[in-house]
Structure 1
Amino acid sequence: MSKVKYYYDPESLSYRKIERKKRNTFKFIMVFLLASALFAFLFVFIAGHYVESPNEKALKRELENMQLQFDLLNKKMSEAEAVLASIEDRDNNIYRVYFEANPIPEEQRRAGFGGINRYKDLEGYDNSRLIVRTSKRLDILQKQIVVQSKSLDEIAVLAEEKEKLLAAIPAIQPVSNEDLTRMASGYGMRSDPFTKVRKMHKGMDFTAPRGTPIYASGDGVVVRADSRASGYGKHIRIDHGFGYMSLYAHLYKYNVRKNQKVKRGDLIGFVGSTGRSQAPHLHYEIMKDGRHINPINFYYGSLTAEEFSKLLENASLENQSLD
């Protein structure tokens, strides 16, 4: 039962019953509903902006985890860039210098990607800047690795060629010091033993007993083993490649044949005195690109510093050659 309310009427000096009009009741209800709706809206607004739902919390944790992973990825890329920079430095300043190859220009190593926007699909998100920057770093790093990989492939080929070159260069004395009587004559102007006229002696004469072993001074292929060249008698010529040729003259007999492959140190023949020779000895020549060069500069593979100094001293004497 609703409670009845009264008010005091001063004109009639009596209490009158308060009667609520239907119009006022309607207004009251409308105000109440409007206030309730406003309160509900404010609640939803505040809850939506300041109170996280379980789903939003899960998404937030996932986003934070992804950002952490991106940070770790960037850290790893920084470490990879540091390692790659060290390799690039050694590549340009050691490997390519040693193998006489031009360094790779810095702009070629650091070149980016021109043309169309490769990262357009990554734009428009909350973390687009981070994602685009990381993607660019990764793409550039991959390109630098490709450039460096190709460079190392080139270095590997150059190293293989260098190894072949080092093996091919005539780098040892063709007659062992134990078998050597003396170094009779060096490269340069010498007195001819037959005419006594000074003329160019294009090789070195090693005096040794008949039958003394003669060794190939470098890897190569025997291109001649005959006595058809004037003055040389029985002789051998070895093509070492890379423009190098060695000649061994006045042999007693051969231990190789034409087109045979030989290695440095292989026994190829024996000392004799055939052809235009005054006594048993080996006449030894080296040619580079068809021009004679002094063999004295190519004995670093078999002589000690003391032996080389003594050989250099004897070779410099302007004595008489033996052929």
Structure 2
Amino acid sequence: MTIYGSAQYLAGIYYEEKIKAITADNDDLTSVLSEMRTRISTLQNQIDVIVEKDKALRLYANLPEIDQDIRKMGVGGRVTEDFNLDNLDPEDESALEKMDLNLKALSQTIKLELMSYETLFETLQTQKDRFESIPSISPTKLGYLSSRFGYRLDPFNGERTFHHGIDIAASTGTHVYATAGGKVVYARYNGGYGYTIKIEHGYGFATIYAHLSRMNVQKGQIVRRGDVIGFIGSSGRSTGPHLHYEVRYHNNPVNPIEYIWTDASL
């Protein structure tokens, strides 16, 4: 009886310690699960902000929104199959399974947003390059518009002819600026145009600057919007110091006034 009683006593102590250990483990697990829930919630809030910025960028880049069904890509199964959950109570096991699914969904969302941002970057980079190639500023900061684009009476013979650009009258030596980035295809004396510069900007755009007194660039040179490329003069077939400025799109002359996007009025 003594031995039996001692055995029962020792078994009681053993199982009591076992229960305490399991309870402690469950308390620790509950604490970990609570912390994981908080972190998942924070991560979800951050992803929601990224998604809204993604929508705004797509609107700016003129790209369609990602379909909501694609954003809600289904997930299934559970990572926790690799773990032994026999000692977990049903509530903790259920909570852990939900967190597995939440983490899978967040992972899929992050992958989708990364792919979306790569597409956005490529699209915006192309648009940036195209924008930099479109003439958009006045070729001079001084002067006044002395002749418009379109039909006019020729100042030399009085006949009605088509004027392929605009004329800006200003003092000799006034700076002439590249109206977009590009490559100088020629910078030379060009008959009635006098000293002339032609820049090809890409995407079908080119500009011509004529009747210059001096040129500040040479053939093959790469220029940026706003670079000083020459100086106003009266070379060639000209009645006085002015700049003849043309914008061409696929070699067809277009009205340069439509490609001056600044507040300056000519």
For 2:250 and 2:40, how far apart are their aligned partners in 1?
50
Give the secondary structure class of the aligned counterpart of 1:279: coil
Structure-1 residue corresponding to 2:116: 151
Does 2:62 match 1:86?
Answer: no
CA apart distance, 1:60: 1.7
Structure-2 residue corresponding to 1:224: 186
Question: Identity of counterpart residues, as a percentage?
Answer: 31
Structure-1 residue corresponding to 2:32: 69
Structure-2 residue corresponding to 1:98: 60
Residues 202-211 or 135-144, more deviating: 202-211
Residue pairs, 1:127-166, within 5 angstroms: 127-166=92-131
Residue pairs, 1:154-303, within 5 angstroms: 154-177=119-142, 180=143, 182-228=144-190, 231-301=192-262
**Amino acid aligned to 1:268:** I
Give the secondary structure class of the aligned counterpart of 2:193: coil
Partners of 1:271 and 1:282 within 8 A in 2: yes
For 1:191 and 1:62, how far apart are their aligned partners in 2?
96
Structure-2 residue corresponding to 1:53: 16
Structure-1 residue corresponding to 2:74: 112
The superposition leaves residues 270-313 of structure 1 with CA deviations (integer Å, 9 ceiling, x where unpaired) of 22333443333211011234333222133334xx4xx42xx2xx
The superposition leaves residues 115-163 of structure 1 with CA deviations (integer Å, 9 ceiling, x where unpaired) of x776644586444432222111101101211222333344344444444
The superposition leaves residues 29-86 of structure 1 with CA deviations (integer Å, 9 ceiling, x where unpaired) of xxxx9xxxxxx9xx99xx79xx961122112211222122113212321221122112
For 1:199 and 1:219, how far apart are their aligned partners in 2?
31
CA apart distance, 1:202: 2.2
Residues 152-161 or 215-224, more deviating: 152-161
Give the secondary structure class of the aligned counterpart of 2:167: strand
Alignment TM-score, normalising by the size of structure 2 = 0.81
Closer, same or farther: CA 162–77 of 1 in aligned 2, 3 Å? same
CA apart distance, 1:215: 1.5
- RMSD of aligned C-alpha atoms? 3.0
Give the secondary structure class of the aligned counterpart of 2:238: coil
Closer, same or farther: CA 123–194 of 1 in aligned 2, 3 Å? farther
Give the greater-gyration-radius structure (CA).
1
Partners of 2:51 and 2:113 within 8 A in 1: yes
- Length, aligned pairs only: 255
For 1:196 and 1:122, how far apart are their aligned partners in 2?
94
Alignment TM-score, normalising by the size of structure 1 = 0.68
CA apart distance, 1:165: 4.0
The superposition leaves residues 154-201 of structure 1 with CA deviations (integer Å, 9 ceiling, x where unpaired) of 434444444444444322211222xx2x31111222222244333332
For 2:247 and 2:196, how far apart are their aligned partners in 1?
13
**Amino acid aligned to 1:87:** I
**Amino acid aligned to 1:252:** S
For 2:83 and 2:105, how far apart are their aligned partners in 1?
17
